Chains A and B, each alone.
Chain A
Amino acid sequence: MESGMKIRVLVAKPGLDSHDRGAKVVARALRDAGMEVIYTGLRQTPEQIVEAALQEDVDVLALSILSGAHMTLLPAITGLMEERGMSDVLVLAGGIIPKEDIPMLKECGIADVFGPGTTTDELVHYIRGKIESEAKNLE
C-alpha cells in the first residue's frame, strides 16, 4: 500500500443473518477513523462477497456473523478468495463465534476473530498495525 493512501475495508454480512447492529457500528467507526469503508448490506452469498472485495480492491474484509452458520460460510469465502489469488486481503471475523471454532477458522485463512467486548479503537489499531506492517514488508 502506498503511504498516504486510505485503507479500504469491505464490511460484509454473509448468509441469511440479519443482526446488523455490530456490522454497522464497526463500519462507522472505521470510517470515522479515516478508512474507506464499503458495507455490503445484508444477506450476501460467499460469491457476492468475494466478488465485491475483488471489485472494490479492498485491503481488509471484515465479516460479521451472529447466526451460527460461520463454520459453513466463512471457509466458503476464504476458499473462493484463495482460488482467486486474494491472499493479500486481511480477512477478519466478528460476531457470536464460540472459542473452540476459532482455530479451525484461522486454519481456513481468517486472520483473527473479534468477539463481544472488542472496542472499536482496538479494531482500528489492529487493522492499521497489520496493514502498515504489511506495507513495510513490501518496501
Chain B
Amino acid sequence: MGLGVFAKDKVDLLSKEESRWEEEVVREWINRLPERRKEFLTTSGFKLKRLYTPSDVSGLDYMRDLGFPGDFPFSRGLHATSYRGRLWTMRQFAGFGTAEETNKRFKYLIREGDTGLSVAFDFPTILGYDSDHPLSKGEVGICGVAVSSVKDMETLFSGIPLDKVSTSMTINGPAAVLLAMYIAVGDGQGVPRERLSGTTQNDMLKEFFAQMLCMFPPKPSVKLVIDIIEYCTRHVPRWNPVSISGYHIREAGANALQELAFTLADGVTYVESALERGLKVDEFAPRLSFFFASYNNLLEEVAKFRAARRIWAKIMRDRFKAEKKRSMWMRMHVQTSGCTLTAQQPINNVMRVTIQTLAAVLGGAQSIHTNSFDEALALPSERAVRTALRTQQIAAHESGVADTIDPLGGSYCIEALTDEMEEGVWGYLDKIEAMGGVVPAIESGFFQREIADSSYKYQKEIERKDRIVVGVNDFHTEDEWIPVRLLRVDERASEIQVARLKKLKKERDAKRVEEALGRLRRDVEEDINLMPAIIEAVKAYVTLGEICGLLKELYGDYHELIVI
C-alpha cells in the first residue's frame, strides 16, 4: 500500500516558501549574527541542514518506510506497545577479580534493580588462557573476572538461579567454552537447557578489525560461531547465540555510519554461513541479536538505531527470504560510549551518559548498559555503577520519553537523517560485497584502514578545536573533583585463582580429562559441531586454557594485520 505523506504540489509550494524565508529572513539575520560554524557536521560527516521541513522527506511513504510499531520495516520499533508494555532490560556489564567478588557485585546489582546480568571476563579468559599461563601475569581479574574452569563459573553464579536471570557474556574466541560452562552450571542447578536465557557475544568477525581479540584465523573462527548458533537453535532455544556487535567497531574509532554498515555486513556473513551449514533462515534468525554504541550526537544516534532496524528487516525479508516477523527483527543491546568519557572533570560524564541513554531509548533499544562516570580512570566503583543504573531508571520513570512509542518518529530532521544513514549503509554494503565479502575485506585491511582514518581524523578535529569536548579542549578547571574512591582490584585475586587452578588440576580425574580432549580432537578432525565435546570436556574439569590450547594447535594461531 503506497501511502505518501506529503502531496507533491503542497511540497512544491512549501519549497518556494522555504526559499523565500532563506532569502528574506535568514540572510538578513545572518548578516547581523553569523552562524557559529560554516557547516555543522555529524560524526559520520552528514551535513546538518539549518532547518528540516516536509520538503526534506517529501518522498516519505508512511507504510513503506515507517510502518506501525511491530510491523515491517520496524522503523518505529519491534513491539506493538514498545516501552509502554515493558521497559528495556537494564543490563550492567560487570566483572573483576575472582568469581566470588563478581558474584557479590552481581547480587548488588540485582538488589539495586538491575534486570539482567552481563559478565565481563578478564583478558586471559577472553583470549583462552588459564590464570596460571605465563602471559596472564599481571592481568588476572584486572579487566574482568577470571574464569578458567567450570568451578569458577559455578562460583560466579552461586545463589543465582539460572532459570530466573538472563545472562549476557562478552566472550568471543572462547565463547563455546564459556557457554558450555554455563550450560554445565545450569545442569548442576537442575535447570533444563531450554530454560536458559542469555547471550554470548560470539561475534568473531569484528574481532579481526575492531576489538582485536582473535584466537584463530577467520575461517575456523566463523565455524565456531556457527557451531554455537546451530547448537543453541537445537538445544538452548532461548539463548541468543550471537550478538553482532558494532560497539567495538565504534570504540575502535569508526563513525556512526561505519559502525552500522560494518556490523550489518558481519550479520549478513553469519546468516550466509548458517544457511551454508544447512540451517533454515526462520529457524535461527529470530535469535540473532545486535549490539551498538550510543554516542553524544543524539540526533545521529537515534537515526542510526531506527535505520538499523529498517535495513536489517529489508535484508532478512528480501535477500534471505525470511518469512517469520521475528527473523526480521533487529533486537539490540545498546551501551553508552566508553570513548566519550573524559578523565578530566569526571562527574561531567554523568551528563554524557544521560544524553546517550536518551538516544538509546529514543532509538528503541531492547536493553541498555550505562557506563559509570569514573570509567576513564579505572574500573567502575560500586557507587558510580549505581549512579549509572539510576540514570536509566530516571530516563525510564521520570523523563516521559518511554511513555509514547518512537516519539521522534516523524521529525523532519530525524526522518531525513534516518534516510541518509540508510543510504550510506547500502553504499558500504555494496562496496564490501564487491570486495568479495567481509573476510576478504578484512584480509585486505579495508575495515582497519577505514577505522584508523576516522579515529585519526577525530583526534585531529579535537586538537584543532573543530570539535569541543568539555574539559578536554575547552572549559578547563583546576578542580578535578571525584565523588567516589576509585576501584582497585585486589591483587590477591591472581594468587587465589592460581592456587585454585592448581588444586583442581591435581584433584580431577586425569583419565576423564584425557578422554574428553581426545574426543574434542576427533571432532575437530571430523569437522563436526564441537559444542557437545566441549560440554563434556568442561564437565570433566578440562580447563579453558587446555581446550583453547588444543583448538589453537589444530586451527592455527592468528597474527593481526597491522594497519596504522
Contact = CB atoms under 8 A, between A and B. Distances in A.
Contact of A72 (B137, B212, B339, B459): B137
Nearest to B124: A16
Interface in B539-564: 559-560, 562, 564
Interface string B107-150: 00000000000000001101101000001111100110000000
Nearest to B339: A21
Contacts of A96: 343, 376-378
A126 to B, nearest CB: 15
A20 interface: yes
A31 B456 CA distance: 12
Contacts of B401: none
A37 B562 CA distance: 13
A75 to B, nearest CB: 10
A16 B463 contact: no
Tier of interface size on chain B? 35 or more
A69 interface: yes
Contacts of B560: 41-42
A104 to B, nearest CB: 14
Contact of A24 (B138, B342, B452, B460): B452
B143 A68 contact: yes
Contact of B138 (A15, A27, A29, A120): A15
B273 interface: no
B251 interface: yes
A116 B564 contact: no
Given A21-B253, A41-B560, A42-B560, A68 B142 contact: yes
A72 B493 CA distance: 14
Interface string A35-60: 00101011101000000000000000
B206 to A, nearest CB: 12
Interface residues of A, number: 32
Contacts of A68: 139, 142-143, 378-379, 489
Nearest to A15: B139
Nearest to A27: B564
B393 interface: no
A25 interface: yes
B339 A73 contact: no
Contacts of B344: 116-117
Contacts of A39: 562, 564
Contacts of B212: 18, 20, 42
A129 interface: no
Contacts of A15: 123, 135, 138-139
Nearest to B460: A120
B396 interface: no
A31 B562 CA distance: 15
A21 B378 contact: no
Nearest to B133: A16
Interface in B438-466: 452, 455-456, 459-460, 463
A120 B378 CA distance: 23
B252 interface: yes
Interface centre among A24, A45, A121 (most CB of B within 10 A): A24
Given A15-B138, A68-B142, A25 B463 contact: no
B459 A25 contact: yes
Contacts of B343: 96, 115-117
Contact of B562 (A21, A41, A71, A98): A41
Interface of A: 15-18, 20-21, 24-25, 27-29, 31, 37, 39, 41-43, 45, 67-69, 71-73, 96, 98, 115-117, 119-121
29 contacts: A15-B123, A15-B135, A15-B139, A16-B123, A18-B212, A21-B253, A21-B455, A24-B253, A24-B452, A24-B455, A28-B452, A28-B456, A29-B456, A29-B459, A31-B564, A39-B562, A39-B564, A41-B559, A41-B560, A41-B562, A45-B135, A68-B139, A69-B142, A72-B137, A96-B343, A96-B377, A116-B343, A116-B344, A117-B472
5 pairs of A and B residues whose beta carbons are closest in the complex: A72-B138, A16-B123, A69-B138, A116-B343, A68-B142
Given A16-B127, A69-B142, A117-B342, 14 more contacts: A15-B138, A15-B139, A16-B135, A17-B143, A21-B251, A21-B455, A37-B564, A45-B135, A67-B142, A69-B139, A72-B139, A96-B343, A116-B376, A120-B463
Interface of B: 123-124, 126-127, 129, 135-139, 142-143, 211-213, 251-253, 339, 342-344, 376-379, 452, 455-456, 459-460, 463, 472, 486, 489, 559-560, 562, 564
